[in-house]
């Protein structure tokens, strides 16, 4: 597909879980982000491995936040979803015996690596709590009485 949506989607989910869901099943989360429960489990499994959420099976089970949003950075979420490749451009993965190509690839790799390091550093400075507060500002400015677009179900 176009690009990797996992980081964006997981941020969305984490804020909903903190601000109004509490515990949620994969099925509920899937409806929230318009996808399939299996896709949700795949992504959430990465968050669990990083200690961001916990999961429980059986009746009353589901997913739950394991720490406050203020202690989760965008970098944490990026790593949790498997640190997908950041860039859509760059040289071919396998190197060539052509010295010109080697020089081009080295320059591009160096430039992209530097940009990647800067972007990841930036991700480290932003907490999910900050983004949640962005949302609350938007809500306050919207003048609506219900802070969420209810995703599929109205019971909570």
- Nearest approach in angstroms of CB 80 to its own copies is 13
CA–CA separation, 66 and 106 (whole Å): 41
Residue window 46-75: x/- pattern of binding to DNA, with contact defined by CB under 7 A = --x------xxxxxxxxx------------
Residue 20: CB atoms within 10 A of its CB come to 12
Of positions 36, 95, 122, 124, contacts its own copies by CB under 8 A: 122
CA–CA separation, 111 and 21 (whole Å): 42
Of positions 37, 64, 91, 129, contacts its own copies by CB under 8 A: 91
DSSP category for residue 33: T
Contact region for DNA (CB under 7 A) — 40-48, 118-126, 134-142, 148-156? 40-48
Residue 35 contact, options DNA, its own copies, none, Cβ 5-8 Å cut-off depending on partner type: DNA
- How many CA atoms within 13 Å lie on the side-chain side of 24? 29
For position 142 contacting its own copies by CB under 8 A, the verdict is yes
- What's the token pair of residue 141? 């400015």
């Amino acid at each position: 597909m176009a690009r990797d949506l996992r980081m964006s989607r997981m941020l969305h989910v984490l804020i909903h879980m903190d601000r109004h869901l509490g515990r949620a099943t994969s099925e509920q989360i899937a409806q929230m982000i318009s996808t399939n429960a299996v896709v949700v489990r795949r992504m959430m499994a990465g968050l669990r491995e990083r200690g961001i959420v916990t999961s429980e099976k059986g009746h009353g089970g589901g997913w739950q936040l394991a720490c406050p949003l203020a202690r989760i950075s965008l970098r944490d979420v990026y790593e949790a979803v498997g640190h997908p490749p950041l860039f859509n451009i760059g040289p071919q993965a396998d190197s060539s015996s052509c010295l010109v190509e080697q020089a081009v690839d080295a320059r591009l790799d160096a430039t992209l690596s530097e940009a990647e390091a800067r972007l990841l550093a930036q991700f480290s400075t932003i907490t999910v709590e900050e983004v949640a507060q962005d949302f609350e500002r938007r809500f306050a400015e919207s003048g609506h009485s219900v802070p969420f677009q209810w995703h599929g179900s109205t019971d909570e």
